[in-house]
């Protein structure tokens, strides 16, 4: 067993553990409109949440304006609908952006949302350099597991690296990428493959930044990670120890890193939605609590706990409150935060660390033998392995749900939907577009030339370009590259 705060950091990143700094408590929120999301944020902050986490609807994730016919029926369905910087400004109205950390669950349109966040800060009188938070901005896992991508793989990764590069130069308090193993796990991977996918992705992103002339230490010190926890409490806690140990060792041995911050794997942990059931939903409180304990024992830096109603709907106020209170009770009414490494010295945990570690090493070797994670994604091999594991472990049967709001929302939420219906037409929201051809032309030129697109994105966002306009201006870069690949 290691020592907390010392290499390879398997026992924890800090000598004092949570006794010196608690994990950040987040609850994912993104409710249809910017106004309702702002109300939920105020509600959560009033209950003591220490970090905001913003979810976006599918059109926003895919770079579609809410009045695009393709977006019909999906606007505001799985998160907040954002078309312009003014929408994001409404989400954060009254929230001091220089004092609250914000996690953006956004990937393909992460560059666009980052530009909007910067402009919202500027227009509210906050220096963007004071912003704190995390952008998911993780495109490899989109191609592997979620499939919410806009451009081809190479172009998608290029724009993700543009975000990393811009944040390194201009936004010291923002983690520009959150490398994910958890999404592969939700898709069917086991605990070892979850860790291996994240570590293999590190090599791809870090290699891309090194090719741009950045040092491994400077880049790796800005990385953060996403994992999940399932119902095997001790094994999940051990898995996080393995992830920290292997990451530190690979940073030192593979990349020649010696700076401690660059060798410390900082993790956001989400309790797994796939473990929830819609039958007897109050039982999900117990499930989420078990998984939250696993995350805390494993040494997470940030934690999201699923709401008991999340198998049926976007979390309602009661579900969100109970999920947050679960974290607060663990932090303040138990002794979990009292000890730097409460599992240190456990033969059971050390055995699980050895077991999972060997499995992780095996997966990493297979991925490397096939040319790295990008090659494994292109060939379909890794997705096939995840699908095979999913069939071997189908999980609990939770039936098929009708996700329509009328079938799942509470009475108060249905009233809110009706109140907001004036902003939608046939499931879409009308958008007023500003004329900003010069800004969009500059963005198009930078996208085609290979320049970092963030400066041009920020200018176009200031001019009130919509997310659909921004994505269209950046699309020729993807089309040009795809044409070259197929010629």
**DSSP type of residue 104:** E
Contact yes or no for 331/18 (Cβ under 8 A): yes
pLDDT band, residue 191 (cuts 50/70/90): very high
Output the CA–CA distances (angstroms, integers) from residue 55 to 28, 33, 52, 275, 349, in the order listed. Answer: 6, 11, 10, 20, 34
Sheet containing strand 174-175, strands side by side: 174-175, 133-135, 101-105, 51-55, 24-29, 302-304, 267-271, 223-229, 177-180
Cβ atoms of 312 and 408 closer than 8 Å: yes
Structure tokens at 453: 């697109």
Higher pLDDT, 320 or 169: 169
pLDDT of residue 487 exceeding 70, the answer is no
Stretch (H or E) spanning 24: strand 24-29
Instruction: Say whether pLDDT at 403 is over 60.
Output: no
CB atoms within 10 A of CB 278: 16
Per-residue model confidence as pLDDT tens digits over 57-99: 999 999 999 999 999 999 988 899 999 999 999 999 999 999 9
The chain-wide mean pLDDT, for the chain, equals 89
**So what's the pLDDT on residue 49?**
84
In the predicted structure, residue 254 carries a pLDDT above the cut 70: yes
Q: If you average pLDDT over residues 178-204, what whole number do you get?
A: 96
Tell me the C-alpha distance between 304 and 233, whole Å.
Answer: 16
User: Tokens 């020729």 identify what position?
Assistant: 476
DSSP labels, 162-219:
HHHHHHHHH-TTEE-EEEESHHHHHHT--HHHHHHHHHHHHHHHHHHHHHTT--HHHH
Distance CA 93, CA 245 (A): 41
- Token readout for 298 is 């494993």
Pairwise CA distance, residues 65 & 95, whole Å: 25
pLDDT value at 19 more than 60:
yes
Q: Which of 133-147, 183-197, 381-395, 396-410 has the lowest mean pLDDT?
A: 396-410
| Residue 201 CB partners (closer than 8 Å, separation 6+) | 138, 140, 141, 179, 180, 373
Residue written as tokens 């954060």? 92
Q: Packing angle between helix 437-449 and helix 454-462, nearest 10 degrees?
A: 170
For residue 411, is pLDDT > 60? no
Segment 389-411 shows an average pLDDT of 48
Region of poorest pLDDT, from 324-333, 391-400, 429-438: 391-400
| 428 phi/psi in degrees, rounded to 5 | -120, 165
Report residue 424: phi and psi, to 5°: -120, 155
Pair of tokens at residue 190:
């086991």
To the question of pTM greater than 0.85 for the whole model, the response is yes
């Amino acid at each position: 067993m290691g020592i907390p705060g010392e290499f390879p950091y398997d026992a924890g990143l800090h000598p004092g553990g949570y006794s010196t700094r608690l994990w950040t408590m987040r609850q994912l929120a993104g409710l249809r409109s910017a106004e309702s999301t702002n109300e939920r944020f105020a509600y959560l902050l009033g209950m003591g949440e220490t970090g905001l986490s913003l979810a976006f609807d599918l059109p926003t994730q895919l770079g579609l304006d809410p009045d695009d016919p393709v977006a019909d029926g999906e606007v505001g369905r799985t998160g907040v609908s954002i078309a312009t910087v003014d929408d994001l400004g409404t989400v954060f109205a009254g929230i001091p952006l220089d004092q609250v950390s914000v996690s953006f669950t956004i990937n393909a349109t992460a560059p666009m949302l980052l530009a909007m966040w910067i402009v919202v800060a500027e227009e509210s009188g906050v220096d963007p350099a004071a912003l704190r938070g995390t952008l998911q901005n993780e495109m490899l896992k989109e191609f592997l597991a979620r499939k919410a991508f806009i451009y081809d793989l190479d172009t998608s990764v290029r724009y993700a690296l543009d975000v990393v590069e811009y944040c390194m130069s201009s936004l010291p308090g923002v983690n520009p990428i959150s490398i994910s193993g958890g999404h592969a796990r939700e898709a069917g991977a086991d605990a070892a493959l979850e860790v291996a996918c994240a570590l293999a992705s590190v090599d791809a992103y870090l290699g891309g930044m090194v090719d741009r002339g950045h040092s491994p230490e400077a880049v790796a010190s800005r990385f953060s990670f996403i994992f999940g926890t399932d119902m095997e409490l001790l094994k999940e806690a051990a898995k996080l120890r393995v992830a920290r140990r292997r990451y530190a060792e690979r940073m030192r041995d593979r990349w020649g890193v010696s700076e401690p911050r660059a060798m410390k794997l900082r993790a956001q942990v989400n309790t797994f939605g796939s473990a929830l059931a819609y039958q007897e939903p109050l039982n999900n409180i117990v499930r989420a609590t078990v998984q939250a304990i696993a995350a805390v024992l494993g040494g997470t830096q940030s934690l999201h706990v699923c709401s008991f109603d999340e198998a049926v709907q976007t979390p309602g106020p009661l579900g969100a409150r109970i999920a947050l209170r679960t974290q607060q009770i663990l932090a303040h009414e138990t002794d979990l935060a009292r000890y730097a490494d409460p599992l240190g010295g456990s033969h059971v945990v050390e055995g699980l660390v050895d077991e999972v570690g060997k499995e992780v090493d095996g997966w990493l070797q297979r991925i490397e033998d096939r040319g790295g994670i990008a090659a494994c994604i292109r060939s379909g091999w890794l997705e096939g392995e995840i699908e095979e594991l999913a069939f071997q472990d189908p999980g609990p049967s939770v039936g098929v749900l009708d996700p329509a709001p009328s079938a799942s929302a509470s009475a108060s939420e249905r009233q809110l939907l009706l109140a907001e219906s004036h902003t939608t037409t046939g499931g879409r929201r009308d958008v007023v577009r500003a004329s900003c051809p010069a800004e969009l032309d500059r963005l198009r030129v930078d996208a085609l030339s290979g320049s970092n697109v963030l400066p041009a994105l920020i200018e176009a966002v200031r001019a009130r370009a919509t997310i659909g306009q921004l994505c269209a201006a950046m699309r020729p870069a993807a089309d040009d590259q795809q044409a070259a690949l197929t010629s």
